[in-house]
Amino acid sequence: MTTGRTVPTYRMNAEGMINSWSDYRRALPQEDKVAFDSICNRVRMHASAATYAAFTDPFESAVLSMLLEQEKEILALRKSDVR
């Protein structure tokens, strides 16, 4: 009998996804690698919400995390532009 997790956590799935994108990252120019790493960090930022949502496909949570952080940046830029 083995003990331990039988279902990978969102964090484990997210890291697996990010690792699977390593060839893509390697092919990017340096300035794009910085932006790409930022996107990957956004996937990690909302791991708790992604775990709670329990989507069948962890990619859904990853994309929502990326979009949420981009929307927050857009709103902040708009707010600073109004002043």
pLDDT tens digits along 4-61: 767 888 999 999 999 999 999 999 999 999 999 999 999 999 999 999 998 889 999 9
Predicted TM-score of the model (pTM):
0.79
What amino acid occupies position 27? A
What is d(CA 4, CA 81) in angstroms, rounded to the nearest whole number? 51
* DSSP classification of residue 36: H
Of 27, 59, 20, whose CA–CA distance to 43 is shortest? 59
Q: Which two structure tokens, joined as six digits, stand for 46?
A: 């909302």
What amino acid occupies position 14? A
